[in-house]
């Protein structure tokens, strides 16, 4: 009898561990290599990690080495990957929510940000909705109504990758500039509205009738109110303590981790995906910049380095690009990509121009707001898990995520070269070495 069989005989838990750990090693190695290649191509590391997840799926690894892929990712390992990715997403959205709203707003900034946010979400949502109505017969599940399908597609295309946008602005030295703050606030509004739409669609989808859906929506709204009006004040002393000491101690760390995980458990029980609970828990965290900085430093490296690559791999295992071959499917993909790009880019660029910015700044913001990155992957994974979309639409939107993310920086740099963006930053643009170091740690 082989040694492994002798060791694991009668111990299914150990047998499962010996299957899960090699899968994690492969996932992290692929993410590290592809992330490094992305940095060498002047792209965000997260783009390489997204591509690594797709390559580990049936698109490349499964097509070239089907037996090896089946050995690395057997059926009993995938539920473990799903659990780890869900925990990772809940904590990641917690950090996203906790990071919203940095800096004081200048007079009139809220109105201008709201204007840019409306221009960023309404055209993309409308175009996506119209394309969804046209493609319902081709891409939708038979048990999903035409308007549900169209709303889901519009909501997915209206997202902006807020965390990636924040990281790019930091690397360019624009995070504290009027241009950077305006863009960040608008992107956060866009994402919040898109998540609200998905929460409503999820509540309707997961419940048998209108009464159950209304109950889920009411409970989710009540949960948000309790978190923001009751839990948030209770957490303020925690923020004050961290502001005094400059660090989050072990005792405080228990609170910081328990709050999003408990919130995710409650929203799952309510009937809304756990990431919503994590996001609202982040919004309930203390608003003190020192607290948020300490929180990011303690948690983001573990979440982004270990847990998010697992999510990308799990998404990649569900991505079947061979399902979008052929003329009609390629035309559908082109229509969805065009609706997403034009809705965001033109809407945001024209809105920025109407707010008094020059064409360079307007086109630069339009390019950045068009990046969807990780946010759309989270959005569509929820849709796939809850049976709102097909594998074909999932694969199309994965490609949209990769293309729009890769296509954010080149038009931005073309519209706002470094000699022009220096005039907008709070200081000189960071050196390439500093930007690379920041990317590696983000």
Q: Beta-carbon neighbour count of residue 67 at 10 Å?
A: 8
Sign of CA dihedral 60, 62, 65, 69: positive
Q: Beta-carbon neighbour count of residue 260 at 10 Å?
A: 29
Which of 4-8, 263-267, 344-348 shows the lowest mean pLDDT across its residues? Answer: 4-8
**Three-class DSSP category at 183:** helix
Rounded CA gap, 97 and 421, in Å?
Answer: 28
Rounded CA gap, 273 and 378, in Å?
Answer: 11
Rounded CA gap, 21 and 51, in Å?
Answer: 21
Among residues 390, 319, 370, which one has the least CA distance to residue 132?
Answer: 390
How much is the pLDDT for 99? 76
Rounded CA gap, 355 and 353, in Å?
Answer: 5
Write the pLDDT tens digit of every residue in 98-148. Answer: 876 544 455 456 788 888 988 888 999 999 999 999 999 999 888 888 998
Axis-axis angle for helices 45-56, 391-406 (nearest 10): 150
Write the pLDDT tens digit of every residue in 341-398. Answer: 999 999 999 999 998 888 888 998 888 888 887 778 888 888 888 888 898 999 999 9
Q: Yes or no: say if 152 and 389 are a contact pair by the CB < 8 Å rule.
A: yes
Among residues 91, 33, 76, 69, which one has the least CA distance to residue 378?
Answer: 91
Inform me whether the pLDDT recorded for 200 exceeds 80.
Answer: no
Encoding tokens for residue 120? Answer: 């960023």
| DSSP for residue 322 | G
Sign of CA dihedral 400, 34, 299, 308: positive
Which of 64-78, 264-278, 349-363 shows the lowest mean pLDDT across its residues? Answer: 264-278
Encoding tokens for residue 429? Answer: 């643009």
Encoding tokens for residue 393? Answer: 């639409």
User: In angstroms, what CA-CA distances link 59 with 271, 399, 404?
Assistant: 33, 12, 20
Which comes out higher in pLDDT, residue 247 or 55? 55
**Three-class DSSP category at 83:** helix
In b/e form, how buried is each residue of 92-127, taking b as 16+ CB within 10 angstroms?
bbbbbbbbbbbeeeeeeeeebbebbbbbbbbbbbbb
Rounded CA gap, 311 and 373, in Å?
Answer: 13
Q: Locate tokens 């992305």: which residue?
A: 38
Which comes out higher in pLDDT, residue 73 or 424? 73
Q: Locate tokens 């295992």: which residue?
A: 317
Which comes out higher in pLDDT, residue 99 or 90? 90
Could you tell me the pTM of the whole model? 0.77
pLDDT band, very low/low/confident/very high, at 332 (cuts 50, 70, 90): very high
Among residues 361, 369, 313, 352, which one has the least CA distance to residue 164?
Answer: 369
**Three-class DSSP category at 305:** helix
Rounded CA gap, 17 and 77, in Å?
Answer: 9
Name residues whose C-beta falls within 8 Å of residue 230's C-beta, 6 or more positions apart in sequence.
Answer: none
**Three-class DSSP category at 10:** coil
How much is the pLDDT for 167? 66
Inform me whether the pLDDT recorded for 235 exceeds 70.
Answer: yes
- Alpha carbons within 13 angstroms on the beta-carbon side of residue 153 total 38
Q: Yes or no: say if 299 and 247 are a contact pair by the CB < 8 Å rule.
A: no
Q: What percent of the chain has pLDDT over 90?
A: 26
Topology of domain 19-441 in CATH is Na+/H+ antiporter like fold (1.20.1530)
**Three-class DSSP category at 386:** coil
Burial of 141 (0-12, 13-18, 19+ CB in 10 A): middle
Domain ranges (residues) in the chain: 19-441
């Amino acid at each position: 009898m082989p040694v492994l069989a002798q060791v694991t005989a009668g111990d299914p838990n150990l047998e499962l561990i010996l299957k899960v750990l090699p899968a994690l090693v492969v996932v992290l190695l692929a993410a590290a290599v592809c992330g490094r290649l992305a940095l060498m191509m002047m792209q965000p590391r997260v783009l390489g990690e997204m591509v690594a997840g797709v390559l580990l799926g049936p698109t490349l690894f499964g097509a070239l080495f089907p037996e090896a892929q089946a050995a690395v990712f057997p059926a009993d390992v995938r539920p473990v990957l799903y659990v780890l990715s869900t925990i990772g997403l809940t904590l990641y959205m917690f950090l996203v929510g906790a990071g919203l709203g940095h800096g004081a707003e200048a007079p009139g900034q809220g109105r201008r940000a709201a204007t840019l946010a409306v221009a960023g979400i309404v055209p993309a949502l409308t175009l996506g909705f119209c394309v969804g109505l046209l493609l319902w017969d081709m891409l939708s599940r038979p048990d999903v109504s035409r308007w549900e399908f169209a709303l889901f597609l519009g909501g997915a295309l209206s997202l902006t990758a807020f965390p990636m946008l924040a990281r790019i602005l930091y690397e360019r030295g624009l995070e504290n500039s009027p241009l950077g703050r305006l863009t960040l606030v608008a992107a956060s509004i866009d994402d919040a509205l898109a998540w609200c739409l998905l929460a409503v669609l999820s509540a309707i989808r997961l419940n048998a009738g209108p009464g159950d859906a209304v109950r889920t929506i009411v409970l989710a709204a009540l949960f948000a109110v309790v978190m923001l009006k009751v839990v948030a004040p209770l957490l303020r002393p925690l923020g004050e303590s961290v502001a005094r000491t400059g660090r989050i101690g072990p005792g405080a760390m228990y609170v910081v981790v328990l709050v999003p995980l408990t919130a995710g458990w409650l929203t799952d029980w309510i009937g809304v995906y756990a990431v919503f609970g994590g996001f609202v828990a982040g919004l309930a965290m203390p608003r003190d910049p020192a607290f948020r900085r300490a929180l990011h430093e303690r948690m983001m490296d573990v979440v982004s380095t270990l847990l998010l690559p697992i999510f990308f791999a799990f998404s990649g295992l569900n991505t079947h690009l061979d399902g979008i071959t052929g003329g009609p499917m390629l035309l559908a993909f082109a229509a969805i990509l065009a609706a997403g790009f034009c809705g965001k880019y033109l809407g945001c660029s024209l809105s920025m121009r109407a707010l008094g910015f020059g064409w360079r700044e307007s086109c630069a913001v339009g390019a950045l707001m068009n990046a969807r990155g990780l946010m759309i992957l989270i959005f569509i994974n929820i849709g796939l898990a809850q049976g709102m979309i097909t594998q074909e639409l999932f694969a199309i939107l994965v490609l949209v995520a990769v293309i729009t993310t890769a296509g954010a920086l080149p038009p931005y740099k073309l519209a706002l070269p470094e000699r022009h963006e220096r005039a907008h930053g709070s200081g000189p643009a960071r050196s390439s070495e500093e930007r690379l170091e920041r990317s590696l740690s983000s």
